[in-house]
Amino acid sequence: MVIKHGALGDIVLATGPFLAIRQAHKADHLTLLTASLFAPFLKPSGIFDSILIDDRPPPWHLTAWARLLRQLRASHFDRVYDLQHSNRTALIYRVLAMRRRLEWSGITAGCSHPHSNPNRDSMHTIERQAEQLAAAGIPETPATDLSWVVADARRFELPEHYALLVPGGAAHRPGKRWPVQNFAELASWLNTSGYTPVLLGGKSETSTLQTIAKAVPAALNLRGMTSLSDIVALARGAAIAIGNDTGPMHVAAASNCPTVVLFSDDSDPVLTAPRGGNVEIIQMNSLADLGVDKVVAAARRTLETNLGPHFRE
């Protein structure tokens, strides 16, 4: 079993380890324990033989806990790769390892294949998980990989040249968001340069996306209309993706879309930056101090690098 609950960016960064584990256990039945949000996205990958759902109800929901633990114990796993490393997974280890031998890769005290590097919390997620797997006997971990995603963006009736904008982020971390007025100015520059802004976000970004769409009527507002697979399809056809440090930017980067990601001091790109073929990071202590001109310059560099003489402005 592999344990990885999320969030979205963490799931994307774990696709390389998922593939490494699958290759190391070609003849074994491989189960993923994850949140219900990610099961439909990951099922078509073919990496896992089965997917179990754990939406992490709070500890006082004893019935849900008992049901989950009973299901896990009945599966009689021989080895578990804990890529979540939480108090919850430590408890799962203690229950599953009770009165039986269980191989466990992770950081839980007493496990058979510990990742014991004291500096592990200073490593990027990719390198940290690769080192963990190496300690468990899997020496090679491939890069993030969403090539298995089958999706078609034609239903959105996209123009030939478009750019993805991801102006949202976790509602409880407003410091990770660049001001919406700045995104509106950026959208205007993209539109003037010949790239229709395509706005991505969920219900919590309704006001933000409406503000940008009102400022740039040519923008295509896809609020709440995209699945995770749709974002992959959109990223594959986009000239560029620009956004805050949030899950869809990981999807775009792993889909080999040129990306510009905006970081504040609320998160550390050394530890969690999206990985892909062409990712540029801009970091300021406060995104309120990040000028539109700096983001436009980064976008221009990225477009020129990838499109060369075909860059439109």
Rounded to whole angstroms, the Cα distance separating 311 from 186 reads 17
Please, what CATH class does the domain formed by 2-135 belong to?
alpha beta
In the CATH scheme, what architecture does the domain 154-310 have? 3-Layer(aba) Sandwich (3.40)
H/E run at residue 197 = strand 196-199
Rounded to whole angstroms, the Cα distance separating 23 from 255 reads 21
List 103's β-bridge partners, or say none.
Answer: 79
pTM: 0.93
C-alpha distance from residue 37 to each of 4, 40, 52, 109, 121 (Å): 12, 7, 12, 30, 26
Q: Are 223 and 209 in contact (CB under 8 A)?
A: yes
Please report how many Cα atoms fall inside a 13 Å half-sphere around the Cα of residue 297, on the Cβ side: 7
Q: Which residues contact 309 (CB under 8 A, 6 or more apart)?
A: none
Sketch the domain layout of the chain as residue ranges: 2-135, 154-310
pLDDT for the residue numbered 312 = 56
The torsion angle over the Cα atoms of residues 75, 80, 86 and 87, rounded to 10 degrees, is 60
Rounded to whole angstroms, the Cα distance separating 182 from 295 reads 9
Q: In a structure prediction context, what are the per-residue pLDDT tens digits for the chain, which is 313 residues long?
A: 999 998 999 999 999 999 999 999 999 999 999 999 999 999 999 999 999 999 998 889 999 999 999 999 999 999 999 999 999 999 999 999 998 899 999 999 999 999 999 999 999 999 999 999 999 999 999 999 999 999 999 999 999 999 999 999 887 888 999 999 999 999 999 999 999 999 999 999 999 999 999 999 999 999 999 999 999 999 999 999 999 999 999 999 999 999 999 999 999 999 999 999 899 999 999 999 999 999 999 999 999 887 644 455 5
Rounded to whole angstroms, the Cα distance separating 131 from 108 reads 16
pLDDT tens digit sequence for 243-268: 999 999 999 999 999 999 999 999 99
Q: Cis omega before residue 7 (within 30°)?
A: yes
Instruction: Tell me phi and psi for residue 124, to 5 degrees.
Output: -65, 150
pLDDT for the residue numbered 305 = 82
List 51's β-bridge partners, or say none.
Answer: 32
Rounded to whole angstroms, the Cα distance separating 42 from 246 reads 19
Rounded to whole angstroms, the Cα distance separating 186 from 189 reads 5
Identity at 145, one-letter amino acid code: D
Q: Is the dihedral of CA 299, 178, 4, 229 positive or negative?
A: negative
Rounded to whole angstroms, the Cα distance separating 159 from 220 reads 10
Identity at 135, one-letter amino acid code: A
